[in-house]
Amino acid sequence: MIDLYYWPTIPGRGEYVRLVLEAGGLAYRDVARLPVEEGGGIEPMAAIIEGRKGGFVPFAPPFIVDGGLLVSQTALCCAHVARRCGLVPTDPAGEAAALSIALTVMDLVSEVHDTHHPIAVSLRYEDQIDEARRRAADFRANRLPKFLSWSDNLIENNEHDSGWLVGRTMTYADLALFQTCRGLDHAFPNAMETAWPEAPKVKALARAIGDLASIAAYLASPRALPFNEDGIFRRYRDLDPA
Amino acid sequence: MIDLYYWPTIPGRGEYVRLVLEAGGLAYRDVARLPVEEGGGIEPMAAIIEGRKGGFVPFAPPFIVDGGLLVSQTALCCAHVARRCGLVPTDPAGEAAALSIALTVMDLVSEVHDTHHPIAVSLRYEDQIDEARRRAADFRANRLPKFLSWSDNLIENNEHDSGWLVGRTMTYADLALFQTCRGLDHAFPNAMETAWPEAPKVKALARAIGDLASIAAYLASPRALPFNEDGIFRRYRDLDPA
């Protein structure tokens, strides 16, 4: 049994870990979303983050506890879970590539966060909206196309021509890209309408993952958290004009 | 022989990898800084980034090539090099903690970058100076103290009481923290003067690493690149007022 610790009200970075758990069919507890009487709620997460449990203290959620092992940093959580259920390349080059890709995806996710919080996470969006407009414009014009083009080329140039980012089968790197595409479609529907025709391989990959029985069932379940305007991927008209 | 690929004129993220190579006494080539006639220069790096060499294409430098294996993302490069020379914890929990810490340090480095480029990497600092002032003020007030306090607590609560972030001996996570402290001292000398008394364990760790013969010799050599105002850690008076 794997315990996942993440903020209970947003998909955020936790959703990346959930998707690997769900795609791999692993048993897990989403601790902060469990009732307090079942050992859930925010308190067990706070106890770890505040160092009251001893052991390594992660900087921020998400993190997972698997037996005696605590793993933090989103991409590392995903990689750990993926190793448990075979959603990893088995050769060293593929393993290194998958983790590099997952980390690059998480870097992009931080850039998405900063489109609505370019000045400070300690301030509200409304207090940095002018800066957000400027940063989001650059994100749409430069960063988003660069990231999608890089991803598309990885799939295009995969020596196994498998339709996945690395190797012959789906890995957690593909799941990370899938969730990011979902988020980008939510947050930047207008920009993505322009971007999608330039990234047909990414589009096909995202569709293939969305069609998986495990993923479709998960996304239709109450376990999946919908995007909302407290999370990382937010739909603000000012940041994605028509 | 390990080949390191990074921009030749700034310490940037490449310096994190160099420090592990140097501390571990490994033979390496700093490819972009070698003469063209020795196979160096920018072109070999461009060939990989542009996909002209085949195989996995990293999103950005630094990356390393070790035999047939290409590793990208700074923290992963450091971890790979560290495994080659014993600068890693050998237990799974320590290994996971070291990589989490190194990735968290690199997240902080991205935040430092964004203090002078809060809007767009495609624009000059001078074109986003008002936003930079605001972001840097939040960084100094909130993010920097939070990061240093987290780091200090890790050392303080290390069960081995070794003075290092994780385990009994120095690892690449410690080297990453060391280089970040050097960068912060360069970019934010005033803020750091206030911050240092709150982080005595980090201070002692940084001093211990600076005193290592391998590191002292490296930093005094032309192989080490000094901080400059094209890199990540830049000293701008507006961003660190007295």
Tell me the pLDDT tens digit for each residue of B49-80.
999 998 999 999 999 999 999 999 999 999 99
The answer to whether the Cβ–Cβ distance between B107 and A110 falls below 8 Å is: yes
How far from A172 is each of A20, A106, A200, B53, B240, CA to CA, in Å?
Answer: 6, 12, 20, 25, 41
Which of A56, A99, A150 shows the shortest C-beta gap to B93?
A56
How far from B93 is each of A71, A120, B86, B96, B109, CA to CA, in Å?
Answer: 8, 33, 16, 5, 24
* Surface-to-core class of residue A202, CB atoms within 10 Å of its CB (0-12 exposed, 13-18 middle, 19+ buried): buried
The pLDDT assigned to B174 comes to 98
The answer to whether the Cβ–Cβ distance between B103 and A76 falls below 8 Å is: yes
Please name the residue of chain B whose CA is at the shortest distance from the CA of residue A56: B97
The pLDDT assigned to A45 comes to 97
The pLDDT assigned to B104 comes to 98
The pLDDT assigned to B28 comes to 98
> Does A115 reach chain B within 8 Å, measured CB to CB?
no
The pLDDT assigned to A66 comes to 97
Please name the residue of chain A whose CA is at the shortest distance from the CA of residue B146: A59
Q: Where are the beta strands (DSSP E) in chain B?
A: 2-5, 28-30, 63-66, 69-72
The answer to whether the Cβ–Cβ distance between B135 and A157 falls below 8 Å is: no
* Surface-to-core class of residue B228, CB atoms within 10 Å of its CB (0-12 exposed, 13-18 middle, 19+ buried): middle
The pLDDT assigned to A236 comes to 97
The pLDDT assigned to A22 comes to 98
To the nearest whole number, what is the mean pLDDT of chain A? 97
Residues whose CB is less than 8 angstroms from the CB of residue B104 and which lie 6 or more positions away in sequence, other chains included: A58, A59, A72, A73, B147, B150
User: Hey, of B50, B53, B73, which one would you mutate to test binding to chain A, going by the most A CBs within 10 A of its CB?
Assistant: B73
Take residue A67 and report the two structure tokens written for it: 């037996």
CA A167 to centroid of chain Cα atoms: 20
| Matching residue, tokens 């001093």 | B207
The pLDDT assigned to B31 comes to 98
Which of A56, A104, A118 shows the shortest C-beta gap to B97?
A56
The DSSP-derived string for B86-124 is: T-S-SSHHHHHHHHHHHHHHHHHHHHHHHHH-SS-TTS-
> Does B92 reach chain A within 8 Å, measured CB to CB?
yes
* Surface-to-core class of residue B177, CB atoms within 10 Å of its CB (0-12 exposed, 13-18 middle, 19+ buried): buried
Instruction: Answer for the pair B206, B185: CB distance below 8 angstroms, yes or no.
Output: no
Instruction: Answer for the pair A149, A198: CB distance below 8 angstroms, yes or no.
Output: yes
The answer to whether the Cβ–Cβ distance between B119 and A135 falls below 8 Å is: yes
User: Hey, of A73, A76, A105, which one would you mutate to test binding to chain B, going by the most B CBs within 10 A of its CB?
Assistant: A73
The pLDDT assigned to A132 comes to 98
Which of B55, B119, B159 shows the shortest C-beta gap to A131?
B119
The answer to whether the Cβ–Cβ distance between B131 and A154 falls below 8 Å is: no
How far from B4 is each of A3, B32, B52, B76, CA to CA, in Å?
Answer: 38, 8, 18, 13
Sign, CA torsion A204/A206/A209/A215: negative
CB-CB neighbors (< 8 A) of B72 in chain A: 96, 100, 104
CB-CB neighbors (< 8 A) of B99 in chain A: 73, 76
Instruction: Answer for the pair B107, A110: CB distance below 8 angstroms, yes or no.
Output: yes
pLDDT along chain A (242 residues), means of 10: 97 98 98 97 97 94 96 98 97 97 98 98 96 98 98 97 98 98 98 98 98 98 95 97 95
> Does B142 reach chain A within 8 Å, measured CB to CB?
yes
> Does B56 reach chain A within 8 Å, measured CB to CB?
yes
The pLDDT assigned to A147 comes to 98
Minimum distance, in Å, between the CA of residue A210 and any CA atom of chain B: 25
Q: Which domains does chain A have, with CATH numbers?
A: 2-85 (3.40.30.10), 92-212 (1.20.1050.10)
All residue ranges of chain B with pLDDT < 70 are: none
Which of A92, A103, A142 shows the shortest C-beta gap to B122?
A142
Long-range contacts, B140-148 (Cβ 8 Å, 24+):
B140/B188, B140/B191, B140/B240, B142/A120, B142/A122, B143/B108, B143/B111, B144/B184, B144/B188, B144/B191, B144/B195, B145/B195, B145/B198, B147/A59, B147/B104, B147/B108, B148/B195, B148/B198, B148/B199, B148/B202
Which of B71, B122, B166 shows the shortest C-beta gap to A138?
B122
The answer to whether the Cβ–Cβ distance between A57 and B92 falls below 8 Å is: no
The answer to whether the Cβ–Cβ distance between B103 and A75 falls below 8 Å is: yes
Phi-psi region of A219 (alpha: psi -120 to 50; beta: other; left: phi over 0): alpha
CB-CB neighbors (< 8 A) of B128 in chain A: 134
Q: Rg of chain A's alpha carbons, rounded to an integer?
A: 18
pLDDT tens-digit series, residues A62-99: 999 999 999 999 999 999 999 999 999 999 999 999 99
* Surface-to-core class of residue A170, CB atoms within 10 Å of its CB (0-12 exposed, 13-18 middle, 19+ buried): buried
The answer to whether the Cβ–Cβ distance between B73 and A142 falls below 8 Å is: no
* Surface-to-core class of residue A97, CB atoms within 10 Å of its CB (0-12 exposed, 13-18 middle, 19+ buried): buried
The pLDDT assigned to B219 comes to 98
Q: Identify the helix (H) or strand (E) that includes residue A65.
A: strand A63-66
